[in-house]
Amino acid sequence: MKKIIEKHSLAMRWFHWINFPVLFIMIWTGMLIYWANDIYKVTIGKHELFHFFPDGFYSYFNISHRLSEGMALHFLFMWFFTVNGFLYVLYTLISGEWRDLVPQRNSFKEAWLVLLHDLHIRKTAPLQGKYNAAQRIAYTSIIVMGFGSLFTGLAIYKPVQFNWICYLCGGYHFARILHFTLTIGYCLFFLIHIVQVILAGWRNFRSVITGFDVEEVPVITPHIATEDGRAR
């Protein structure tokens, strides 16, 4: 017999799906800004591994010479990003849903087992609540990262008015590096997130839109079994 299982509250779904386009716009407009001084690269010794970003990347996405537009957009959508993030944290605290999300003492050890399981190296996954250990770590990290983006963002945006934030971020120059690194972090999170969503399948994805999942619960019937041996 089918049974509806409530999975994600309406509030959680709203926060998630508001954040999705807003964060996307923040990253996009951040790129329009970054282009004007695109000095970051990954090097080993003197050898340059990767330069953020290659010219082809800029021309393909039409990023060049849009600094003023990028700044205006970034400083508008920062409000939505911040407000949505604060409300989300507030909601998880008030509703108690933070208990499902915050890593527990054994989460860090278990996350490793979850990873091995996901990579099909280990057969069994550790017992879990709503979210597994790896998810707990990921979903809490992303909130810490969001706060980090806000904090380093303020350090870059108003380094004089918020000189104490700028100081805590290791100065203006370093705050910009942190802000950029966090953005790369979101992109990596997004990639893994998408792969996991695809692997988890349609029902899991659907539940983030509808809020519920459907489960088949066994019912004892007077007829013991049908001919093919399966219970009705």
Q: Within 10 A of 189 (CB to CB), how many other CB atoms are there? A: 16
Backbone angles phi, psi at 48, to 5 degrees: -85, 120
Beta carbon nearer to another protein, 21 or 129 = 21
Smallest gap from residue 123 Cβ to another protein (A): 29
- Show the tokens assigned to 198: 């695809």
Helix axes 133-157, 67-95, angle to 10 degrees: 130
Beta carbon nearer to another protein, 138 or 150 = 150
Smallest gap from residue 37 Cβ to another protein (A): 3
Beta carbon nearer to another protein, 137 or 150 = 150
Task: Find all residues with CB under 8 Å of 16, minimum gap 6, and list them.
Answer: 208
- Residues engaged in binding another protein (CB under 8 A): 1-4, 17, 21, 25, 33-34, 36-37, 39, 67-69, 71-73, 75-76, 79, 157-163, 166-167, 171-173, 176, 206, 209-212, 214, 218-223, 232
Smallest gap from residue 125 Cβ to another protein (A): 27
**What is the residue-wise DSSP string for 134-154?**
HHHHHHHHHHHHHHHHHHHHH
Beta carbon nearer to another protein, 106 or 221 = 221
CA distance linking residue 210 with residue 202, whole number of Å = 12
Smallest gap from residue 82 Cβ to another protein (A): 12
